[in-house]
Structure 1
Amino acid sequence: MLNVARTTCLVVGGGPAGLVLGLLMARAGVEVTVLEKHADFLRDFRGDTVHASTLTLLDELGLGERFATLPHRRLDRAQVQLDEGLVTVADLSRLPGTHKHIALVPQWDFLDLVADAAEEEPTFTLRRNAEAIGLLHDGDRVAGVRYRDRTDGSEHEIRASLTVACDGRGSAVRAAAGLVPRSFGVPIDVWWFRLPRRETDPAGGVGRISGSQLAVLIDRGDYWQCAFLIRKGADAEMRAAGLERFRERIAGLLPWMADRLDALTSLDDVKLLDVKLNRLHTWHRDGLLLIGDAAHAMSPVGGVGINLAIADAVAAARLLAPALRAGGIVPRSLLWQVQLRRWWPTALIQAGQRIAHRVAFGGRGATASTPAAGTAAAGAVTGEPAPVEALPVPLRLLRRFPVLQGVPARLVAIGPLPEHAPTWARRAPLPVRG
């Protein structure tokens, strides 16, 4: 016999959007349950950029001081090393507000922080090892989910006034609802891997572009989390070329890391991110709302996915919590308001990412047959600034008029429509937990 439970708001997925939504709903006094498929949040190669808009939100929620205790690095400018030299493309010191930086923090630490704060609220429940396997219906209305306990294989039902899918770009809830997103062509995939970091290395983030090759290095303290862009669908071809060929490619692109490439002992150390860029036409059904990657998968360009998903959650909580607190069924007109508010910043950012794919990556990405990058100015990431006359016009303007570097900084670190915590969810700084 199935075990059947009941909640007011059911959130499927314990990622950034799901946990922030759960926290906000609980602070509104709404009974909320979050289902998380895994036992913990310890999965590598997840997005870890917490942008200025999200840092401001954490302050509003009283979590800023707790966040400050997490191991993290600060990025206050974005610099890219071309063959011609070093170029600053965004200066975050020009941002308005308190936070003039992006924080690079392991996502599992961020999720633990939000989950701990949510569990201090009496109406919040987090169920781990709970994998959604189907939707429940009352007529045409979604009324909850069926889930499997991954510890013992038992199946359960949980019914809810509103179900919110925050279960990522491979959303099981979306598939169960029969919703299919519109996909936009993406010319790239990403290989993720780790390399040791040394005290003499630069701090924060490093970008390196040469020809059709691009790598991004994220400072994790004692190691670099590395992203190497490859042509869409080229994973098998590049793996067939072998580990030594890949080491040669990285040594050509990043000579200052050549002496540590033996840390890659096998191509099993290299994980593929199948990059997707898509968006649902309708983010809701009666009784169901989809937000974050479940509604719109983002490219890794700009690292905006986490922050956009969190903004979705904040908007959803502000618009829907009063109706849920009153005990009524949330009308689809309110779900539509959430989509209406969050659709245009999503579409705008995705349009920018599509342009970046075409311009920065030339629609190609590296392949197994691409020659290693040149090393004209790649001896060290801290090299000399590129000569102005050698740069494309947009980069020349950024160099000649540094005030313009605040524009890309704001677009990435704050975004086109930052969301702020509702009054009822705000707290004075909460004490740091020991």
Structure 2
Amino acid sequence: MIGKQIQKDVIVVGGGPAGMMLGLLLAKVGVQVIVLESHDNFDREYRGEVLQPRFIQLLNQLKLREYIEQLPHSKLKKGAFYHYDKKKGDIDFTSMIAEAPYALWIPQPILLQALYKKAKEYPTFDMLFHAPVKKLLEKDGTVTGVVVEQKNKELLEIQAKVVVGADGRFSTIRRLGGFELEYQHYPGDLIWFSVKRPSHWGEELRFKITEGHSYITLPKYPDLLQVGIALPRCEWKETLRQGIENFRQEIMHANKGFHEFAESLVDFKPFVPLQAKNHMVKTWAKNGCLLIGDAAHCSSPVGAIGVSLAVTTAVVAADVIWDALQKRDVSAKVLCRVQEIRSEEIEEIHQIQERMGNLFFTSSKFVKGIRPYIVSAAFKTPLFSMIQKKLFVMKKPVAINREFVFDK
């Protein structure tokens, strides 16, 4: 039974980076917007904490860079590919684009809290925590709102002109709205854990390949390393079945900096698996409803680019939604303008991720054996530099209405 009803212009489902940015921008231009977050707070780990140079370019356009860079963060200026302990090639963020010569590492709860704080400055912004969506409301083929279950189990009906699904790769809005996938690619899983950062490590992003598994290591604010082990699809289940000892031995031999962590292992509780999956929704909009971010175009962890792409889509969506509200036309045709603007670049990046993922997550002994030579050869050609720029740098600025730019 519905306990209460409220009315808004826009409902944003999902309080991640894309949802919070969209809510902030719409509130800035006076749209009555509410963000719904299914969890009690912003606490989350291993969720897109690397913000690539393209994200900084976007912050420059919005004039939010100074505000965001006041937050606790690390700057990643270098990266490298290793075969065991031998460096095979460098990634140099400082040479990619002068205005953004580094990537940022910001814990996601800190970033989200900062966007929330900024959004609360505007009277048309509202947010509900512990508010999972249970139902989409529809009338005459148009989505008109949602029903959420509050913490006290009471149902709340929220009506709106536009409902936006920004609720991640396992989107409830995508499921309830019957949106179909155009494609998906799932080569394996990244198994994350964190260790104390060795003093000699520095602020370097590292990709490490071996004849066994591959590894990603990222400096994690303030003094940790975040480590991801790349397992081919279905191998994680087999690893769990075999027990902790084999996995502990592999980590022990992967890097001497992991020894203390490996020696302390008695079970799999310190590990967090993440599907290295990308997908694209066939059509991102229906009348009165739009998907953005991972709900529409999930990126794999390869390249640590997902948050940057999702937030860029949110900025484009803010402009499209605002225009749709002013014209009183929230049809699928109008809202799909977001997809028309964003899909080409995202599909291109997905193709790069798919090729890299096939190499990184391979179970083939032959491919594992030749990987070091493939990587070494790639670094000696202009191709790798081109791929880096496509992943990490925006080719051209996003078209942003002046009303969304922050003066201070």
TM-score in terms of structure 1 length: 0.86
Contact 2:50–2:304 (Cα < 8 Å) also in 1: yes
* Residue identity in the other structure for 1:110: L
Contact 2:32–2:124 (Cα < 8 Å) also in 1: yes
**Structure 2 equivalent of residue 78 of structure 1:** 79
Aligned length: 403
Please report how far the alpha carbon of residue 205 of structure 1 lies from its aligned counterpart in structure 2 after TM superposition: 1.9
Please report how far the alpha carbon of residue 301 of structure 1 lies from its aligned counterpart in structure 2 after TM superposition: 0.5
Contact 1:33–1:125 (Cα < 8 Å) also in 2: yes
1:381-405: CA deviations, max 9, x gaps? xxxxxxxxx9636634634x7x776
**Structure 1 equivalent of residue 278 of structure 2:** 277
The unaligned stretches of length 5 or more in structure 2 are none
Which of structures 1 and 2 has the larger relative contact order (alpha carbons within 8 angstroms, sep 6+)?
Answer: 1
Contact 2:276–2:302 (Cα < 8 Å) also in 1: no
Please report how far the alpha carbon of residue 292 of structure 1 lies from its aligned counterpart in structure 2 after TM superposition: 0.9
Contact 2:80–2:204 (Cα < 8 Å) also in 1: no
1:323-368: CA deviations, max 9, x gaps? 32x2723232221211111111121111111111223333559xxx
1:390-432: CA deviations, max 9, x gaps? 9636634634x7x776433322222456535431111233xxx
Work out the CA distance in 1 between the residues paired with 2:71 and 2:280: 33
Could you say if the C-alpha distance between residues 223 and 272 of structure 1 is closer, same or farther in structure 2, counting changes exceeding 3 Å? same
Contact 1:204–1:218 (Cα < 8 Å) also in 2: yes
Give the 5 Å matches for 1:3-402.
3-83=4-84, 85-149=86-150, 151-220=151-220, 221-324=222-325, 326=326, 328-362=328-362, 392=373, 395-396=376-377, 398-399=379-380
Work out the CA distance in 2 between the residues paired with 1:187 and 1:393: 19
**Structure 2 equivalent of residue 379 of structure 1:** none
Work out the CA distance in 2 between the residues paired with 1:162 and 1:42: 27
The unaligned stretches of length 5 or more in structure 1 are 366-372, 375-389, 430-434
1:76-99: CA deviations, max 9, x gaps? 122011147203342211122421
When structure 1 is superposed on structure 2, of 240-249 and 306-315 the one drifting more is 240-249
Work out the CA distance in 2 between the residues paired with 1:266 and 1:3: 46
* Residue identity in the other structure for 1:309: A
Moved beyond 6 Å, runs of 4+: none
Q: Aligned to 2:63, what secondary structure does the other structure show? A: coil
Could you say if the C-alpha distance between residues 98 and 58 of structure 1 is closer, same or farther in structure 2, counting changes exceeding 3 Å? same
When structure 1 is superposed on structure 2, of 219-228 and 355-364 the one drifting more is 355-364
1:152-206: CA deviations, max 9, x gaps? 1111010111111001111111111112324434221121112122333332322
Could you say if the C-alpha distance between residues 91 and 405 of structure 1 is closer, same or farther in structure 2, counting changes exceeding 3 Å? farther
Work out the CA distance in 2 between the residues paired with 1:256 and 1:315: 42
Work out the CA distance in 1 between the residues paired with 2:178 and 2:98: 42
**Aligned: 1:422 with 2:401:** yes
Work out the CA distance in 2 between the residues paired with 1:115 and 1:259: 38
Could you say if the C-alpha distance between residues 414 and 145 of structure 1 is closer, same or farther in structure 2, counting changes exceeding 3 Å? same
Work out the CA distance in 1 between the residues paired with 2:211 and 2:26: 48
